[in-house]
Every structure is written in structure tokens, then in C-alpha cells.
Amino acid sequence: MTPRTTISTRNALTLQDRLSRLTYLRACKLLGEEGKRLIQLGGTYEIDIDEQVTMDGDVFRVRLPECVATIALAAHATQHSAAIAPRAAPRVSMWGRRCL
């Protein structure tokens, strides 16, 4: 018997669901004019997933020596409302010194 695949509706998507659907072009656009360059610079970091990355519910966090990058769903993104749109994006914030 083949296992069933569960498909979430847009208003029920978790942060992990949303990140798994994020394309390179969409990520560049979300990061703004410098998006392509920032993604390329991010590729120069060596990241130990077990030590530096955490995913707790709707918060994704990467700890680098010079900063902590956090991606979290905005409160309105988890509610069923007009705010949920195909272009709705996770909120990104960074603490510490300049990450990239």
C-alpha cells in the first residue's frame, strides 16, 4: 500500500512548508536589490546544521560567529485572512553584526 501524502492549504502552511516552496528567484526578490549578491555571499559560509541551525515550530534560526539570522512567520501569516496571498512571505530578521 502506498503511503498517503498530505497537502496543506495555503492558510495552514507551516514555516517549513513555505521555505520548502521558496524558489531562488523568489528568495532574491524577498531580499531586495542585493538579493542575488547576498545569496552568493551566504554560500561562502560553512554551516554545521546540527550545531548552528534550529527549527522550532514557525521559527528557523542560523547561528553564525558574527550574527544570528532568524526567519519566522508573521502572526498574520498563520491566520485565515486576506493577508494570506501567494506572495505572502516569512519575516526575516537578523541580530548581531552584519551577517553578509
Which has the closest alpha carbon to 14: 53, 56, 54? Answer: 56
Residue 2 placed within a domain: no
Q: In terms of residue numbers, what domain contains 70?
A: 10-96
SS3 for 9?
Answer: coil
Of the chain, the end-to-end C-alpha distance in Å amounts to: 48
Grid coordinates representing 60? 528557523
pLDDT values of the chain reduced to their tens digit, one per residue, 100 residues: 566 665 555 567 888 898 899 999 998 998 889 989 988 988 888 999 999 999 998 899 999 888 888 888 876 654 433 333 334 445 555 444 455 5
pTM: 0.61
Number of domains in the chain: 1
What is the distance, to the nearest Å, from the Cα of residue 78 to the centroid of all Cα atoms in its chain?
14
- Asked if the structure places residue 4 within a domain, the reply is no
Q: Please report the pLDDT score of residue 73 as a whole number.
A: 82
73: exposed, middle or buried (C-beta count within 10 Å: 0-12, 13-18, 19+)?
buried
User: Does residue 90 sit within a domain?
Assistant: yes
Rounded CA separation 43/18 (Å): 21
Asked if residue 37 belongs to a domain, the reply is yes
